[in-house]
């Protein structure tokens, strides 16, 4: 049923199952406790900025992150009939990475699976991304301790089911009985 939130129901059932079935004691890996979140503005030292080891890794992350991001953006832009400005995408990634670095965050790249989920539910504007980011932040801050019991396999299955729509093969849609909106 397209109106029933199947993935959400699967996650709720999967979170409840470790309690009822003691899945971790049977070798099922769960996400586990999230590390504490702190938002402290830190400016990197000149030694860290000038480190060649850091520079090599940063260049690699920038190339892979931008490459992945632009492929995702172009893929979904093609599906929705929009254009992508690679220069603006690069500026966006760079700005987000500078902000993330100043607060001790992870490198920022495209989220292919999150984009696929947003697209699958009919989201086509930047507002969907902002709502998804707010929902993600709220989830981590307020129910992160509950997510600790989510089996990793279930999380992977949810991401795969959302990403299947990225593959535009009629045979695959028929096999999985996926209907296109």
Over residues 44-65, the mean pLDDT reads: 78
Instruction: Yes or no: say if 107 and 100 are a contact pair by the CB < 8 Å rule.
Output: yes
Low-confidence winner among 10-19, 76-85, 168-177 (lowest mean pLDDT): 168-177
**Residue 151: strand pairing partners:** 30
Per-residue confidence band for 1, with pLDDT thresholds at 50, 70 and 90: very low
Asked if pLDDT for residue 172 goes beyond 70, the answer is no
Task: Please tell me whether the overall predicted TM-score, pTM, comes out greater than 0.85 for this model.
Answer: no
Over residues 98-117, the mean pLDDT reads: 78
Asked if pLDDT for residue 87 goes beyond 60, the answer is yes
Tell which residue, 57, 152, 141, has the closest CA to residue 107.
57
């Amino acid at each position: 049923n397209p109106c029933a939130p199947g993935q959400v129901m699967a996650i709720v059932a999967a979170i409840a199952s470790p309690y009822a079935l003691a899945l971790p004691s049977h070798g099922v890996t769960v996400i586990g406790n999230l590390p504490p979140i702190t938002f402290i503005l830190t400016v990197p030292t000149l030694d860290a900025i000038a480190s060649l080891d850091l520079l090599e890794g940063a260049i690699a992350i920038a190339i892979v992150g931008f490459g992945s991001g632009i492929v995702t953006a172009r893929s979904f832009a093609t599906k929705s009939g929009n254009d992508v400005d690679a220069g603006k995408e690069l500026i966006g990634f760079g700005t987000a990475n500078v902000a993330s670095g100043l607060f001790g965050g992870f490198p920022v790249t495209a989220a292919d699976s999150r984009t696929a989920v947003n697209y699958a539910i009919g989201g086509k504007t930047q507002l969907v991304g902002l709502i998804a980011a707010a929902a993600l932040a709220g989830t981590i801050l307020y129910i992160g301790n509950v997510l600790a019991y989510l089996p990793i396999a279930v999380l992977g299955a949810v991401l795969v089911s959302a990403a299947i729509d990225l593959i535009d093969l009629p045979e695959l849609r028929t096999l999985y009985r996926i209907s296109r909106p």
